[in-house]
Homo-oligomer: A and B are copies of this chain.
Amino acid sequence: MASSSERAPEIRRDRVFNRHIILSPARARRPSDFKSKSPANPNTPSPTTQCPFCIGHEHECAPEILRFPPNTPNWKIRVIENLYPALHRDQEHNLFPNPNPNSPLSLVGFGFHDVIIETPTHSLHLPDLSPIGVADVLLVYKERIDQLRLHQSIKYVQVFKNHGASAGASMSHSHSQMIALPIVPPTVSSRLESMKAWFKETGKCGLCDIGSEEVLIDESAHFISVVPFAASFPFEIWIVPKEHCCHFHELNDEKVVDLGGLLKFMLLKLSKQLNDPPYNFMIHTSPLDIGASDLPFSHWFLQIVPQLSGIGGFEMGSGCYINPVFPEDAANVLRQVIVV
């Protein structure tokens, strides 16, 4: 039974996504009669010789879009087409009429699906790079988004990273992905609606003042990192620009370098505290075709989610997540983790 010192459960609502979550420390103690709840697959890489993302194996990959630095065989970062793309990049002219004449609810699968290879070296992972090395990866995201924005039909670009098999990764070589969509996807629409409602109600952007002392982990010149007040996952981290800004791709060089350092630092803290957990990160930005003046309520940020345990039918059905770790406690722990 619950020890008397255990904190009582609490229901919180996240003002950015307008989602309820349940904080419930008791849930962490439930037993399992399945052998192990640990990740199915460790994060360990396979032999380098078989990896198409390694330097020297460029010919095993789908076509390259850009490399950094440009025009050198000694690349540090490559953006390539995904060989098994979710969407087809050659269908822009076929967008209308839709393929399912019986339904207004379908659209040709047009879009861009790219892979960003973050390092030529198989054994390195993103936070092993220097702060500038991490910043270069972010700069490459920006450069590629600036290309994708030129397509009138592209409404939103989702940048994301899967690290470790339990976070969905199928490739172990350090990489991230980018999917450019001809629609504004569901979570983005509801996030914008929610932040708009918050703005109407309070006159303020819901992310400009998110960094209360309790949940703050760290800050750099231009960014803060917090465990959000209504985190869906234990040790979830948000990195938020201090200055109001709706689009990730508006980042300037100085801020990119600053962000690279803080992102590296947060990934190292998670890795140390949670023993190299599988994780995802996602950049939450705004639709491309809406200008900053129309988005006083929308503020981009980067969300990092360590994958410590799966979800079940409750979360799938209700959209309400159960988090056994209070955000204040997670922030406190992460503040104190020392990385060198």
Q: Chain A: residues with CB nearer than 8 A to chain B?
A: 1, 8-15, 17-20, 22-24, 26-27, 29-41, 45-46, 50-51, 83-88, 91, 99-100, 103, 105-109, 111, 156, 158-162, 165-173, 177, 179, 181-183, 185-188, 190, 229-230, 280-284, 303, 305, 310-314, 316-320, 322
Q: Point out the residues of chain B lying under 8 angstroms from A83, CB to CB.
A: 1, 30
7 smallest beta-carbon distances between A and B, as pairs = A9-B109, A168-B312, A160-B313, A187-B319, A282-B317, A40-B40, A185-B318
- A183–B20 CB distance below 8 A: yes
- A230–B10 CB distance below 8 A: no
Instruction: Considering the complex, give the chain B residue whose CB is closest to the CB of A17.
Output: B186
Give Cα A20 to B159, complex, Å. Answer: 17
Give Cα A9 to B107, complex, Å. Answer: 9
- A314–B179 CB distance below 8 A: yes
Q: Point out the residues of chain B lying under 8 angstroms from A91, CB to CB.
A: 8
- A109–B10 CB distance below 8 A: yes
Knowing A8-B88, A39-B40, A190-B190 are in contact, say whether A316-B282 is a contact too (CB < 8 A).
Answer: yes
Q: Point out the residues of chain B lying under 8 angstroms from A169, CB to CB.
A: 34, 312
Copy number of this protein in the oligomer?
2
- A51–B33 CB distance below 8 A: yes
- A317–B34 CB distance below 8 A: no
Q: Point out the residues of chain B lying under 8 angstroms from A22, CB to CB.
A: 86-87, 109
Give Cα A100 to B214, complex, Å. Answer: 13
Give Cα A177 to B30, complex, Å. Answer: 14
Query: Smallest distance from the beta carbon of A190 to chain B beta carbons, Å?
Result: 7
Residue from B41, B230, B313 in contact with A281 in the complex, judged by beta carbons closer than 8 Å: B313
- A10–B108 CB distance below 8 A: yes
- Residue from A24, A51, A173, A281 with most neighbouring chain B CB atoms (10 Å): A24
Residue from B50, B107, B303, B310 in contact with A317 in the complex, judged by beta carbons closer than 8 Å: B303
Instruction: Considering the complex, give the chain B residue whose CB is closest to the CB of A281.
Output: B313
Instruction: Considering the complex, give the chain B residue whose CB is closest to the CB of A40.
Output: B40
Q: Point out the residues of chain B lying under 8 angstroms from A320, CB to CB.
A: 158, 181, 185-187
Can you report 6 residue pairs joining A to B where beta carbons are below 8 Å apart?
A27-B86, A34-B169, A37-B170, A105-B230, A168-B312, A280-B313
Q: Point out the residues of chain B lying under 8 angstroms from A11, CB to CB.
A: 87, 106-109, 111, 181-183
Query: Smallest distance from the beta carbon of A247 to chain B beta carbons, Å?
Result: 15
Residue from B20, B23, B105, B230 in contact with A229 in the complex, judged by beta carbons closer than 8 Å: B105
- B172–A313 CB distance below 8 A: no
- A314–B109 CB distance below 8 A: no
Query: Smallest distance from the beta carbon of A119 to chain B beta carbons, Å?
Result: 16
Query: Smallest distance from the beta carbon of A29 to chain B beta carbons, Å?
Result: 6
Give Cα A153 to B197, complex, Å. Answer: 25
Knowing A18-B186, A230-B105 are in contact, say whether A84-B30 is a contact too (CB < 8 A).
Answer: yes
Contacts A20-B186, A22-B109, A86-B322 known; 10 new A-B pairs at CB < 8 A? A8-B108, A11-B87, A24-B86, A27-B84, A30-B84, A33-B51, A105-B230, A158-B318, A186-B319, A280-B316
